[in-house]
Amino acid sequence: MDGRLLGRAPLRVSLEAGLHEVRVVAPGHAEYRAQVEVRPGESLRLYVELVPVRGVLELYLNVEARVFLDGEEVGVAKGGYLRIEVPFGEHELTLVARGYRTLVQTVRVSGNQVLRLTLNPL
Protein backbone atom coordinates (compact mmCIF):
# COMPACT_ATOMS: atom_id res chain seq x y z
CA MET A 1 0.00 0.00 0.00
CA ASP A 2 1.51 3.30 -1.09
CA GLY A 3 4.82 1.49 -1.74
CA ARG A 4 4.97 -0.23 1.68
CA LEU A 5 4.57 -3.95 2.37
CA LEU A 6 1.67 -4.39 4.78
CA GLY A 7 1.39 -8.18 4.95
CA ARG A 8 -0.39 -11.15 3.45
CA ALA A 9 -4.00 -11.28 2.29
CA PRO A 10 -6.60 -11.37 3.64
CA LEU A 11 -5.64 -8.11 5.26
CA ARG A 12 -7.43 -5.36 7.15
CA VAL A 13 -5.83 -1.91 7.27
CA SER A 14 -6.79 1.55 8.45
CA LEU A 15 -5.96 4.36 6.05
CA GLU A 16 -6.13 8.10 6.19
CA ALA A 17 -8.56 9.80 3.82
CA GLY A 18 -7.14 10.42 0.36
CA LEU A 19 -5.84 8.61 -2.70
CA HIS A 20 -3.84 5.41 -2.14
CA GLU A 21 -1.89 3.11 -4.47
CA VAL A 22 -2.69 -0.60 -3.97
CA ARG A 23 -0.35 -3.30 -5.26
CA VAL A 24 -0.94 -7.04 -4.82
CA VAL A 25 1.61 -9.65 -5.90
CA ALA A 26 1.78 -13.44 -5.72
CA PRO A 27 4.16 -15.94 -7.33
CA GLY A 28 2.90 -17.24 -10.68
CA HIS A 29 0.36 -14.42 -11.07
CA ALA A 30 0.21 -11.04 -12.77
CA GLU A 31 0.63 -8.07 -10.48
CA TYR A 32 -2.52 -6.14 -9.53
CA ARG A 33 -2.32 -2.33 -9.25
CA ALA A 34 -5.07 0.16 -8.52
CA GLN A 35 -5.68 3.54 -6.99
CA VAL A 36 -8.40 3.81 -4.37
CA GLU A 37 -9.83 6.94 -2.87
CA VAL A 38 -10.81 6.81 0.78
CA ARG A 39 -13.19 9.48 2.04
CA PRO A 40 -13.24 10.58 5.69
CA GLY A 41 -15.14 8.05 7.82
CA GLU A 42 -15.58 5.68 4.87
CA SER A 43 -15.02 1.92 5.04
CA LEU A 44 -13.94 0.14 1.83
CA ARG A 45 -13.62 -3.50 0.88
CA LEU A 46 -11.35 -4.41 -1.99
CA TYR A 47 -11.65 -7.82 -3.64
CA VAL A 48 -8.77 -8.74 -5.91
CA GLU A 49 -8.63 -11.71 -8.26
CA LEU A 50 -5.10 -12.31 -9.51
CA VAL A 51 -4.60 -13.65 -13.03
CA PRO A 52 -2.22 -16.61 -13.36
CA VAL A 53 0.80 -16.22 -15.67
CA ARG A 54 1.98 -19.80 -15.23
CA GLY A 55 0.36 -23.12 -15.91
CA VAL A 56 0.91 -26.65 -14.69
CA LEU A 57 2.08 -29.30 -17.14
CA GLU A 58 1.31 -32.85 -16.09
CA LEU A 59 3.37 -35.32 -18.09
CA TYR A 60 2.42 -38.99 -18.40
CA LEU A 61 5.10 -41.00 -20.20
CA ASN A 62 5.53 -44.66 -21.05
CA VAL A 63 9.02 -44.67 -19.42
CA GLU A 64 11.01 -42.83 -16.80
CA ALA A 65 12.72 -39.90 -18.54
CA ARG A 66 14.72 -36.74 -17.92
CA VAL A 67 12.63 -33.69 -18.81
CA PHE A 68 14.04 -30.48 -20.29
CA LEU A 69 12.17 -27.25 -20.94
CA ASP A 70 13.82 -24.78 -23.31
CA GLY A 71 17.11 -26.66 -22.91
CA GLU A 72 17.13 -26.64 -19.10
CA GLU A 73 16.54 -29.82 -17.10
CA VAL A 74 13.41 -29.39 -14.96
CA GLY A 75 13.05 -32.88 -13.49
CA VAL A 76 12.74 -36.62 -13.95
CA ALA A 77 9.44 -38.29 -14.81
CA LYS A 78 9.76 -41.01 -12.15
CA GLY A 79 7.43 -43.86 -12.95
CA GLY A 80 6.56 -41.95 -16.12
CA TYR A 81 4.96 -38.98 -14.31
CA LEU A 82 6.07 -35.40 -13.69
CA ARG A 83 4.18 -32.25 -12.71
CA ILE A 84 5.90 -28.93 -13.43
CA GLU A 85 4.92 -25.27 -13.27
CA VAL A 86 5.63 -23.48 -16.56
CA PRO A 87 5.37 -19.84 -17.67
CA PHE A 88 2.66 -19.17 -20.26
CA GLY A 89 3.87 -19.17 -23.84
CA GLU A 90 5.58 -21.48 -26.31
CA HIS A 91 8.30 -23.83 -25.05
CA GLU A 92 10.47 -26.63 -26.36
CA LEU A 93 9.91 -29.82 -24.35
CA THR A 94 12.62 -32.49 -24.59
CA LEU A 95 12.37 -36.00 -23.10
CA VAL A 96 15.48 -38.19 -22.75
CA ALA A 97 15.50 -41.83 -21.63
CA ARG A 98 18.23 -44.45 -21.98
CA GLY A 99 17.38 -46.94 -24.73
CA TYR A 100 14.73 -44.64 -26.26
CA ARG A 101 14.71 -42.02 -29.01
CA THR A 102 14.84 -38.46 -27.66
CA LEU A 103 11.49 -36.78 -28.09
CA VAL A 104 11.41 -33.03 -28.82
CA GLN A 105 8.07 -31.26 -29.00
CA THR A 106 6.89 -27.66 -28.99
CA VAL A 107 4.18 -26.97 -26.41
CA ARG A 108 2.06 -23.84 -26.03
CA VAL A 109 1.09 -23.27 -22.39
CA SER A 110 -1.92 -21.05 -21.72
CA GLY A 111 -3.30 -22.85 -18.67
CA ASN A 112 -3.02 -26.21 -16.94
CA GLN A 113 -2.40 -29.07 -19.37
CA VAL A 114 -2.04 -32.83 -19.36
CA LEU A 115 0.29 -34.40 -21.93
CA ARG A 116 0.45 -38.14 -22.60
CA LEU A 117 3.58 -38.88 -24.59
CA THR A 118 5.23 -42.06 -25.85
CA LEU A 119 8.96 -42.45 -26.33
CA ASN A 120 9.97 -45.03 -28.95
CA PRO A 121 12.71 -47.61 -28.35
CA LEU A 122 15.96 -47.27 -30.32
The pLDDT tens digits of the residues spanning 7-32 come to 888 888 888 889 999 999 887 788 89
Residue 74 placed within a domain: yes
Residue 1 placed within a domain: yes
In terms of Cβ atoms closer than 10 Å to its own Cβ (0-12, 13-18, 19+), residue 45 is exposed
The DSSP secondary structure of 7-74, one letter per residue, reads -SSS------SEEEEEEE--TTB--EEEEEEE-TT--------PPB-EEEEEEEESS-EEEEETTEEE
Distance CA(117)–CA(120), nearest Å, equals 10
The pLDDT tens digits of the residues spanning 65-98 come to 999 999 999 999 999 999 999 999 999 999 999 9
Domain CATH for 105? 2.60.40.10
The domain tally of the chain equals 2
End position of a domain, from candidates 51, 66, 93: 51
